Structure 1
Amino acid sequence: MSTEVLFLIATLAIVFYVWQKRRHSFWKRRGVKEIGPVPILGDTVRFLTGKVPFFEQIREFHETPGLENEPIIGVYLAYRPALVIRDLELIKTVMIKKFNYFNNRKLQTDPHHDALGYNNLFFVRSPEWKELRHKISPVFTSGKIKQMYPLMVKIGKNLEANVGRQPNDSVVKIKSLCARFTTDLIATIAFGLEANALQDPKSEFFHHNQAIFTPSFRRAIDFSVIFMLPALASLARVTVFSKATSEFIRKSVKYVMAEREKSGLRRNDLVDILLALKREAAASPDKNNKAKNLDYLIAQAAVFQTAGYETSSSTMTLALYELAKNEEIQNRLRQEIEESFGEDEDISYERIQEMPYLTKVVNETLRLYPIVGYAERECAQPAQGERFTLAPHHDMELPDGTPVYISAVGIQRDPKYWPEPEKFDPERFDAANRDKLNMDAYMPFGVGPRNCIGMRLGLLQSKLGLVHLLRNHRVNWCDETVKTIEFAPMCAVLASKNEIYLRVERVSA
């Protein structure tokens, strides 16, 4: 190797070392407490080496020994400075009071090769986000959900029948069962399709829903870039959905939209909203309206399908795991289910909303296991006018583009707000204990205007599934049941690393 080449390599190495050293002193130079990064990987060593999922890495930042009382902590996602906010008042300021500075997520996927990921409501940026959310929100009003409810009950009965067909005392992969239930629900109420996941082991809908969250090396790379290095999204060609899943969603939604247009049928569901957006775009051909692009419309269906499938099925799974572990709590819930049904074959929409113990069980499940696990936003400082500072904790102006993170898992398991935080105790949410709760420390669906749009529907799905599963059956631990939940390190959301097996036993009438 020539002297010139060696000199060039040495020079580049020195430049990189100096650049990185300066990047990794960003918070120290501003007087913000930091964890202390390692070269190249910053503070995200455990995530980047596949030891923990991203939300758990954020939780570890939140719980850094020696910084437990700090309102803010400076961290480095590889080379990129980011801020973890621990103080609840500052969290409210960022997520609600000063939302105009934080109305975008930092997350990003590839706009050129992932139309369904880039254009959906979760990823889309302001001001487009605000208009899109306003137009899609009617699907999730309590009135619309009530209209959907009879369709949901039908799927609940299918779940009950599925469990009833299995031999008594069967050992069941409980996540698979719950995920088949939510697959059928979403296909029915969002698209008017029958996925038949509870009847057909080879259901295409179920297969493609599973593929989105099944851990793999390629998915780990995609989500690492989306979470940590969104500026490289186009270069790395990252996608939220695989090519096969994208094509399946396109095919399904195109078919339903075409059939709906042909028949003129109205179901007051997501497809009707998408068709309205399509007509609105067609009526103003001169306007720059993204709804002219079919992929833009299909993207909204894709995120509805994905989020509705995973969050509710995981909530049900983890609730059943905890109920199997806590027999007294399970018996009390089953008693409420029996009393609520009475002599009726169906449980009404009003009655399921009025089941206090069921609500407490679901709330406590989501406290212990908030499915997304964290919230994040990007700071957008205005070119003119008042700029955002970290007052009263610091007088610095947060630089434009800085990502901020909030650990939902960390806060919801913080003994400062939740005594015995690792204990599953639905009574925390009893009306008599309301004055002891700090509900600012409860954020399973996010915080502020950009929280989960489908929160009502997600809660109802989980409640309905639990009611129908536990109406005539009991879940118990068995030899194959994991004793503690370890989180899957290469999964984008909170999920068990190991399969959760439970023994399902019929209850005598």
Structure 2
Amino acid sequence: MSTELLFLLGTLAIVFYIWQKRTYSFWKRHGVKSIRSLPLLGNTREFLTGRVPFFEQIQKFHQAPGFENEPFVGVYMAYRPALIIRDLDLIKTVMIKKFQYFNNRVLQTDPHNDALGFNNLFFARSPAWRELRTKISPVFTTGKIKQMYPLMVKIGKNLEDSAERLGSGSNIQVKDLCARFTTDLIATIAFGLEANALQNARSEFFYHNKAIFSLTLSRAIDFAIIFMLPALAPLARVKLFSKETTKFIRSSINYVLTERERTGQKRNDLVDILLAMKRQASANSEESLKTIDLDYLVAQAAIFQTAGFETSSSTMTLTLYELAKNNDLQQRLRQEISDFFGDEDHVSYERIQEMPYLSQVVNETLRKYPIVGYAERECSQPDEGERFSLDPYHNMVLPHGMSIYISTLAIHRDPQYWPDPEKFDPERFNPSNRDSLNMDAYMPFGVGPRNCIGMRLGLLQSKLGLVHLLRNHRVYTCEQTVDKIEWSPVSPVIASKHDIVLRLEKVSG
């Protein structure tokens, strides 16, 4: 080996040593307690090697031994320092009281090559985010959801028919059935389309919805960058949706927008809102030109479709799993469903909101299984004026761009807030127990101004699916039912590693 090569290797080794010593001493230099890290991998070895999903990695940080009494813990996302906030008061400060310093998400995709990912409401950055949320919010008002409800009931009845076709005594993959139901719901109430996922096993809508959450190695790398190293997103040209899914969503929404403009039909849905945005931009020379770009409009539809499909179907699936393991609870809920249906073939919008035990059951599912599993924000310090610090816990002023993470999964399963947290107990949410609950420790839809915009609609979807499925059927565990749910290591949201299989039985009366 030549002297020059040895010198070069030696120099690189010294540079790397100095870099990693400097990089991984960030929290020590600032006097913040931190979890011991590894060079290059930081504290995220388990996530980066595919052993645990990202939300579980955040949960492990929160629950790290020796930090039980700390309001926050320093970690390294590979080489990037980040803060895990554990204290509920500090969480409220960051997410609500001092939101002006934390109005952006950490997550990012490529702003230049991923129009569908970068421009949608979930990923949008301030000030574009605030304007976009204001425009889309009308879709989710109580009045609009109430107008959608008859369309939703129709899909609920289709779910009943599908359960009938499966046959009494069948062992079913519950997630598949629930996901077909939510696919049909989102397609009809958001876009005015019939996805026919419940009737057609080969539904194209269903196929592409599933594909969004089915990760290949290259897609797993994309998601790792989006979640953990967003600064690399433009360099790696990562995209939220695959080429195939992007093409399908773009063509579907383009068709709907074109048809709606041609016919002039109004359905008070997301498409009407998007067309109004397009018209407003065309009439206003000061409006950003991107608002009338097709991909900008499609981006909003894409995230609506993605989030609505996965979260509600997972909530339904995990509820049915817990009810199958707790027959007394299931019977109590089925009795309430029978009472509220009466002699009708559906439950009205007002009545489904009034079902007390149904609400308790769904709330407890979301307590034990908060579907996203964590929340995150990026610190945005102003160029001038007061800067955000960790006072009164610490005198550190957070650097601009610092990532903040909160483990909703860990908080939802913390025995100091939820006694016997592994037990599925809807009585926690009985109104008579309200005074004993710390609702600051309950955040299934996020916290603060950037919480889930579709929260009410998502809850209604899950409830509607459950009442129509359990109206004439019961679910039981079977020999294929998993004893305990293990998380899928490649899923970006809470999902079982193994299919959840239950036995479906027809019940008369």
Same fold judged by TM-score > 0.5?
Answer: yes
Alignment partners' CA distance in 2, 1:358 and 1:392: 41
What is the one-letter code of the residue matched to 1:457?
A: L
> Could you say what secondary structure the match of 2:262 adopts?
helix
Within-5 A mapping of 1:64-463: 64-285=64-285, 287-463=287-463
**Matched length:** 509
- For residues 287 and 237 of structure 1, what CA distance do their matches in structure 2 show? 28
Q: How far did residue 399 of structure 1 move? A: 0.7
Aligned partners of 1:346 and 1:288: how far apart in 2? Answer: 45
Distance 1:292 1:255 in 2: 16
Structure 1 spans left out of the alignment, 5+ residues: none
**Amino acid of the residue matched to residue 386 of structure 1?**
E
Q: CA deviation at 1:287?
A: 4.0
1:17-41 deviation per Cα after TM superposition (whole angstroms, max 9, x unaligned): 2111111111111111101101110
Cα deviation code 1:55-77 (max 9, x no counterpart): 00000000001111110000000
Distance 1:6 1:293 in 2: 55
| Structure 1 residue 215: Cα displacement | 2.9
Residues in 2 aligned to 1:16 and 1:314: alpha-carbon distance in whole angstroms? 44
CA distance in 1, matches of 2:479, 2:216: 28
| Greater Cα shift, 445-454 or 29-38 | 29-38
For residues 215 and 371 of structure 1, what CA distance do their matches in structure 2 show? 18
Q: Distance in 2 between matches of 1:164 and 1:300?
A: 35
Aligned amino acid, residue 226 of structure 2: I
Deviates more, 1:278-287 or 1:259-268: 278-287
Q: What CA distance in whole angstroms lies between the structure 2 residues aligned with 1:2 and 1:235?
A: 34
Is the partner of 2:371 in helix, strand or coil? coil
Report the residue type matching 1:35 in the other structure: I
- SS of 1:76's equivalent in the other structure is strand
Report the Cα distance in structure 2 between the residues aligned to 1:125 and 1:289, rounded to whole angstroms: 17
**C-alpha distance in structure 1 between counterparts of 2:290 and 2:88, whole Å:** 37
Letter in 1 for 2:274: L
| Separation in structure 1 between the aligned mates of residue 271 and residue 2 of structure 2, nearest angstrom | 65
Report the Cα distance in structure 1 between the residues aligned to 2:343 and 2:164, rounded to whole angstroms: 20
Q: CA deviation at 1:437?
A: 0.3
Deviation at 1:285, TM superposition (A): 3.9
**Per-residue deviation at 1:292?**
2.1
Distance 1:289 1:102 in 2: 27
TM-score, normalized by length of structure 2?
A: 0.99
* 2:73 counterpart SS class: strand
Equivalent position amino acid for 2:353 in 1: Q
SS at match of 2:117: helix
Whole-angstrom CA distance in 2 between matches of 1:451 and 1:382: 23
User: Alignment RMSD, CA only?
Assistant: 0.8
Scaled by the length of structure 1, the TM-score of the pair is 0.99
Give 1:139 deviation, angstroms: 0.1
CA–CA separation in structure 1 for the residues paired with 2:218 and 2:416? 39
- Return the offset for 1:286: 5.4
Q: 1:328 deviation in Å?
A: 0.4
Post-superposition shift, 1:236? Answer: 1.4
Q: CA deviation at 1:114?
A: 1.5
Residue type at the aligned position of 2:237: R
Letter in 2 for 1:193: L
Could you report, residue by residue, the CA deviation over 1:181-239 in whole angstroms, capped at 9, with x for unpaired residues?
00000000000000000000000000000000013212211110001111111221211
Q: Which residue identity does 1:71 align to in structure 2? A: P
Deviation at 1:10, TM superposition (A): 1.6
